[in-house]
Amino acid sequence: MTTVDILAIGVHPDDIELCCTGTLLGEIAQGRTVGLLDLTRGELGTNGDPETRIRESLKAKDIIGAQWRINLGMRDGFFQINEDHILPIAAVIRQARPKIILCNVPSDRHPDHGRAAQLIYESAFYSGLSKIILKDELGNNLERWRPQVILNFIQDHYHEPDVVYDITPYFTKKMEAVAAYASQFSPVAGRELTHTPISDDNFWSFIDARAREMGRKIQCKYGEGFIARNPLHISSLSHLIQ
């Protein structure tokens, strides 16, 4: 695992693709490095299976151009905010040393999303405490690290964004990354998927509409919105203009 500028964390494989792929593509185009972390294998999903979703996530990682992608294999639906779950995430943060973390929204249709947001926030905090000892795979101590910014990406339920990123040049490729999850969003192996809120054509229209809605807020075609848990640090008002 190499160090990266940005670490995107999703509780389920495909959360990252749905919510912040355009942003990641834009940052990679500007020379920044990106790592991807999935907390669970999404084994409770109605369609697909854990092995398929892992393969799909690695295909999407290549489309995005991320440095690496790992999955912590936490229990989908039943992970808890406790030491056993905080420390593995903190260890990844210490190894990756990101300046920015993008992660799930604090409240959403799926209860895992909000719980993951709190788990990730606490993991990032405890990653910065020197008296918590964590080691890498070789037994070396991992130095404390805390990201400068945590942004929560907006997913199913609408939230008023604090930040909107113009993803217009990257929207087509974002949709390609989402389409990598054929077990979730389109027919596979010649059969129709069991119907869920994300398995029919209406969901593709929703993704497009949400991106247009966010883009409209900043007068562009497509955007991705984020919530900022803490005030964002700027040193010049010029940072707020194109």
Q: Would strands 149-153 and 163-166 be described as parallel, antiparallel, or unpaired?
A: unpaired
Residue 136 is encoded by which pair of tokens? Answer: 């890498």
β partners of residue 165: 224
CA distance 6 to 149: 10
> Any idea which residue has 């942003």 for tokens?
23
Strands 100-103 and 6-10, sheet pairing: parallel
The predicted pLDDT at position 234 comes to: 87
Taking a C-beta distance cutoff of 8 angstroms, is the pair 8, 37 a contact?
Answer: yes
Residue 190: the pLDDT is 47
- Give the pLDDT confidence score for residue 189 in this predicted structure: 45
Q: What is the pLDDT of residue 191?
A: 53
Structure tokens at 167: 């993803």
By C-alpha distance, which of 125, 103, 124 is closest to 114?
103
Identify the structural domains of the chain with CATH numbers, from first to last: 6-240 (3.40.50.10320)
Residue with tokens 């398995």: 199
Tell me the one-letter amino acid at 66: A
- Which residues partner with 135 through β-bridges? 141
Residue 21 φ then ψ, to 5°: -60, -40
Instruction: Give residue 192's pLDDT.
Output: 75
Taking residue 30's Cβ as centre, other Cβ atoms within 10 Å add up to 8
Could you report the average pLDDT of every consecutive run of 10 residues in the chain (242 residues)? 96 97 98 98 92 97 98 97 98 98 96 97 98 94 97 97 97 96 71 78 91 97 96 89 78
In the chain the first and final C-alpha atoms are separated, in Å, by 34
What is the reported pLDDT for 57? 98
Cα–Cα distance, 225 to 205 (Å, whole number): 17
